[in-house]
Amino acid sequence: MEITLLGFNDFHGHLEPPGVAVTATGASGKSVAVPAGGAAYLAGAIAARRSANKHTAVVTAGDMVGASPMVSSLFLDEPTVEALNLMGVDFSATGNHEYDQGSQELLRLQNGGCEKFTAKQPCQISKPFKGAQFPFLAANTLRADGTSLLQGTGVKFFEENGARIGVGFIGMTLRTTPRMVRPSGVAGLSFADEADTANRLIPALRAQGADVIVVLIHEGGYATSGLQDASCAGLSGDILPILDRLSPDVDVVISGHTHQAYLCDYRRVNPSKPFLLTSAGRYGTLLTEVQLKVDTGSRKVMHKSARQIIVQGEAIASGSGKVPLQPEFPVFGADAAVSQLVSTYHSSVAPLAAQASGVLMGGASRTPGKAGERVLGRLVADSMLYATHDLASGGAQIAFTNPGGVRADLLPDAATGVVTYGQLYAVLPFGNNLVVASFTGEQIQRLLEQQFASGTNTVTQPRILQVSRGFSYGFDLSGPAGQRIVDMRLDGAPIQMTETYRIAIQSYLSTGGDNFSVFTEGKDVMGGMLDLDALVAYVGEGTAQQPLALPLAARIERLD
């Protein structure tokens, strides 16, 4: 029996085409930029591939919601859940972003209803919101009493000529989710080891009739192999230790979190682990098609393969110009029902999104430089300092923002330099409040050291905080832990270890987000406005006569 799995991950509510091109190899052997994404086209691609094989399951590896564009997040990601319903998703693992608004809101997305658990109003368009028509799988997310928050596993059965084959799915998020979500979002929850959880659940799935075992996990890696290359070349990342402890009974691992696209026949890495590993990048630009050939007598998988399908639907405009359709790759039609859904929500949000919010001198990118700084990261940090520097607002002298909280490049209109509210919303979609607190110079040094030595922040994968104007420092990754930060300065004067400084951060960091626990030590804490409102006010200083200049000069120096 031929069984098809269609998988994707890290959709992040990108209902409209995200303006992303996928680099692929064309027939001539040259690299080609292929425009990709958009929920209606993703639904079209799923429908096209489902029509090729009636034995198909559609699954995701998490982060379907959260950190979403305005057209979804302004409505608490209800439209994304509704789009996934229309696509016919069978099972969806939870990612860390599913917990952004707390477990009660996650349960509302699953079960439906209009109960309010956040600052935003639910059921603005859908009255009532019916919830996901597929199970969120969260096998390793546990309540205080040890029970699962959500369903952990599921089985889908396929029948042909009297034979019946069951495919069992285990869905999990990464166990370090509490380090990536504000504490209130995961209050009362714990996250068990991923490999231990999957291995423990396989016998129960077998007892339910599962002949094939598939793990949907929101953890991932990186690879240097090409888009359709399953050689596992350069495979690295936090998923590897999990894979090496997974039972060899697992047939397929569909992963996510790193926003990378890869295919990997993992036997090439570890011959004792003969599963297929996949990830479909981000934002619905790719759909991974896994083909399984199952012998109905032995009920074993005899062959498995995978390929990446580029979700090409329409030409896009990018920062470097228009990306046309590439006819040598499939072009998918838009699903009518999903198109109508997206149009409804777009129409509701369009007037607010289109409002001009200021004028920039050029585009601000999230691309990191040598020291991990980003032009847009500096701009956001500057806006936070702008909103909090006066005494009435906290008297901030320095501002820090985490790079993961900045979610989209800021590209003004090429002719006028105008940026819209919708663009600024896409940059800061989380709705964090600004917080100003007092820290000593010694604490500032310790928190900066945590960029390289705290949880998932390591020397090989540092998490560089973006800093506001006036503050500067250097770092040397070849130095010993705790001694990598040097020459901290504020307005040219050395930071004094015993002196107290007022620091502006977002509420996410103030509770220790991204493993920066030192931020929880702040004194004389004062709350402030939304970070988005601060950015809107700051960018609003730019006018047609005097556009806002971009912070291009480096503030952090890498010394090694």
Distance CA 224, CA 180 (A): 26
- What are the pLDDT digits (tens) for 105-142? 999 999 999 999 988 899 999 999 999 999 999 999 99
**Secondary structure class of 417 (helix, strand, coil):** coil
Count of CB atoms situated within 10 Å of the CB of 10: 28
Domains of the chain: 2-346 (3.60.21.10), 355-558 (3.90.780.10)
Q: Comparing 106-110, 433-437, 482-486, 539-543, which segment has the lowest mean pLDDT?
A: 433-437
pLDDT mean across residues, the chain: 95
pLDDT for residue 225 is more than 90: yes
- What are the pLDDT digits (tens) for 235-285? 999 999 999 999 999 999 999 999 999 999 999 999 999 999 999 999 999
Tell me what pLDDT residue 318 has: 54
Helix 531-539 and helix 375-388, axial crossing angle in degrees, nearest 10 = 100
Tell me what pLDDT residue 320 has: 53
- What are the pLDDT digits (tens) for 328-376? 999 999 999 999 999 999 999 999 999 999 999 999 999 999 999 999 9
The DSSP code sequence of 438-462 is: EEEHHHHHHHHHTTTSBTTB-SSS-
Count of CB atoms situated within 10 Å of the CB of 28: 8
- What are the pLDDT digits (tens) for 446-505? 999 999 999 889 999 999 999 999 999 999 999 999 999 999 999 999 999 999 999 999
* 338-373 exposure pattern, b = at least 16 Cβ within 10 A, e = fewer: bbebbeebeebbeeebeeebbbbebbbbbeeeebbb
Q: Band of the pLDDT at 511, cuts 50, 70, 90?
A: confident
Average pLDDT (373-380) is: 98
Write out 32-60 in H/E/C secondary structure. EEEEECCHHHHHHHHHHHHHHCCCEEEEE
Closest Cα partner for 548 from 388, 325, 365, 364? 364
Closest Cα partner for 414 from 360, 358, 350? 360
Q: What is the pTM of this model?
A: 0.86
